[in-house]
Structure 1
């Protein structure tokens, strides 16, 4: 069941925004998202939080500056998603611009797992580094850091994930979520943490006179990478993250981006001059992620660090091919999952736990997300991992902190989960295959005790009705230029329409022609094959449809019901 609920709109905030010159529609939308004054919409670089409050960043800058001066060999140990790839690219590009001897290592996720494990340290040691730098991982790598220490290798951890009960004994940790860190924005992605570390390093090198007689590297040139990783990792777009994303988008639209970003736009068939957060989250990000899900993320990193546009274009085409393969695998898995769920009424359950022997490890996270969206239940999908083990990826709903739920499961059955980690809305874990039924039962029991039954009904918040005069290309362009994402949701409106025409496309998408007053509007709902009645109450996004060089507005339906 889905309930359409209008967001409350604080009138005083709307008034202040209007008085500051904000567009009336945007004033209403922003006020509903907690914006109270125009300063919160200032996305200039001067409004960016300074690195000084980020615990450990000054020490990291000193260690890295010492390493550069000593000609030490550095290796970045990257994660295998878009955030990890962009963070690695930011580190490689910045450190090389500073004169560092730096390479990278991104282990195959299926062989080595996640984080700086002892096995990865052994792999890295063959490259004879003096220093390992983690990006988007490492906060839980207690054993891996200890292994590096045994090899005489220093470690700098840059991460944004929540820490466990024990921190690794690294030379320094930079993570806004570590104990004692006063950095105001806890929502930095891994790429954001690395960008801040490079800002601090540049300041340290500047103090040491490293740039005298030279052109100082402009780290703003890396903001397209920071924006992509931030949006793709679905972290909360607080004010600081919106600045990073806005600055990156401006560079993309002005054609001042890395060759790899330009190549990804080309492979996705998107116009960078009109780049949006939607492009990053649903076109560029998935193509990079496909490398980590099905092959080796070094392919994605190479795309982002090369300065050769021809090479970048070739790699982007490979990534596009992998993404098509990933989508085909996902479609097969989703079909199997839906067959397994056929006949099950999720209304009697608080969770869904799924496993099929042939499922691909790299795609179970996406599958869990799709099932969660359909049934609005915390969902974990498992695939076979190492001998006798299952690797799971979970997605949650508002009202349940998934990592905390898994932590409670381990407290009730310490031998059940071999390892786990993650966030409120997403987590990963490993269990023994013969413990699946026991896990399924205990996870259901724990979540049932934690979650409010009301949270199991999907609430679709909207920004109310759209005035007839605002069903226009001008309005759609206005909205697509803004910064939207996790925690700062893109506008969704709702209203009642008369259905004048409808048909099913490719057996799975509903295409409609709607009428509102004297206005006729095209609409579509993807992955929805049930036809509508003569009148509907619909929640929708206003979008621009490009076809044969002609632009028109189109409603992207999120949900509808008979009016």
Structure 2
């Protein structure tokens, strides 16, 4: 059973990665054609899997910091689409769909959700009309200030706080979620070593200026094909490193800029 589950999970990851690559290519083409990505991208591919569109929408939302909708046929070759939407703070995605539905009755078959995530169903033939109505609503309601991503830090950790006790206390202080985010810290570190992990991730060995022992870090999606700067200002979360076990901890990097 474990082997079967592993195969299913590996297949899902491969499908997700292929769909994400397709979405990134489509957005790159749109940026070349129009000079900027759409305010609220609406993505569709007839080969996409409906069970993964939510993950694709989430990935693209994080990358662009814009509301994103992703659609796939409800079944292979179907004329009905299943869509998933992910939003940013200040743009209520369910209310936005309700506004489009009220202005264009019958365009959307059904929809539901909340401020940050929603799902919807519509006919393939109506997708161009929906996308036009959706972009009109986005242009009318999305303020440029909302499109500026913001990371709120809880400050710097003291050198002695990079330990298992604090990492476990942070882990067990949840559950974290909307309106109650997991604590995020920031600080400057020297990069002692790095190596790519897979195709997109970056493993780092760091030194805190006031700490002798190096720190392990992982930056998911952080590998850009070239060496990171020798000194980085990081926004990160402190977590137990259960892979290495014992007293090991690691920094999970959310954002990195040269220091």
Would you say same fold, with TM above 0.5?
yes
Match of 2:38 in 1: 349
CA distance in 2, matches of 1:502, 1:414: 54
Name the SS for the 1:542 alignment partner. Answer: strand
Name the SS for the 2:105 alignment partner. Answer: coil
Question: CA offset at residue 348 of structure 1?
Answer: 5.0
Question: CA offset at residue 327 of structure 1?
Answer: 1.8
Question: CA offset at residue 545 of structure 1?
Answer: 1.4
Match of 2:218 in 1: 524
Match of 1:339 in 2: 25
Question: CA offset at residue 448 of structure 1?
Answer: 2.3
Q: Larger Cα Rg: Structure 1 or Structure 2?
A: 1
Match of 1:481 in 2: 172
Match of 2:241 in 1: 545
Match of 2:196 in 1: 504
Alignment length (residue pairs): 249
User: Are 2:14 and 1:322 equivalent residues in the alignment?
Assistant: no
User: Are 2:182 and 1:490 equivalent residues in the alignment?
Assistant: yes
- In 2, are the aligned partners of 1:365 and 1:394 still within 8 Å (CA)? yes
Q: String of CA shifts for 1:336-366, please: whole Å, max 9, x gaps.
A: 1112222444855320111111111111111
- In 2, are the aligned partners of 1:399 and 1:452 still within 8 Å (CA)? no
Where do 1:251-400 residues align within 5 Å? 314=1, 318-345=4-31, 347=36, 349-385=38-74, 387-400=78-91
Name the SS for the 1:464 alignment partner. Answer: coil
**Which one has the bigger strand percentage?**
2
Question: CA offset at residue 499 of structure 1?
Answer: 1.7
Tell me: CA distance 1:397–1:518, structure 2 relative to 1, closer, same or farther (3 Å): same
- Runs of 5+ in structure 1 lacking a partner? 1-313
- In 1, are the aligned partners of 2:47 and 2:72 still within 8 Å (CA)? yes
- In 1, are the aligned partners of 2:235 and 2:256 still within 8 Å (CA)? yes
- Runs of 5+ in structure 2 lacking a partner? none
Task: Give the alignment's Cα RMSD to 1 decimal.
Answer: 2.0
Tell me: CA distance 1:548–1:497, structure 2 relative to 1, closer, same or farther (3 Å): closer
Q: String of CA shifts for 1:420-449, please: whole Å, max 9, x gaps.
A: 111111111122212222211211111222
**Which one has the bigger helix percentage?**
1
- In 1, are the aligned partners of 2:218 and 2:252 still within 8 Å (CA)? yes
Match of 1:206 in 2: none
CA distance in 1, matches of 2:37, 2:55: 24
- In 1, are the aligned partners of 2:154 and 2:183 still within 8 Å (CA)? yes
Where do 1:119-134 residues align within 5 Å? none
Where do 1:4-19 residues align within 5 Å? none
Q: String of CA shifts for 1:258-311, please: whole Å, max 9, x gaps.
A: xxxxxxxxxxxxxxxxxxxxxxxxxxxxxxxxxxxxxxxxxxxxxxxxxxxxxx
Where do 1:170-209 residues align within 5 Å? none
CA distance in 2, matches of 1:413, 1:497: 53
- In 1, are the aligned partners of 2:191 and 2:205 still within 8 Å (CA)? yes
Match of 2:110 in 1: 419
Name the SS for the 2:12 alignment partner. Answer: helix
User: Are 2:223 and 1:560 equivalent residues in the alignment?
Assistant: no
Name the SS for the 2:150 alignment partner. Answer: strand
Where do 1:424-435 residues align within 5 Å? 424-435=115-126
Q: String of CA shifts for 1:175-200, please: whole Å, max 9, x gaps.
A: xxxxxxxxxxxxxxxxxxxxxxxxxx
- In 1, are the aligned partners of 2:189 and 2:207 still within 8 Å (CA)? yes
- In 1, are the aligned partners of 2:30 and 2:38 still within 8 Å (CA)? no
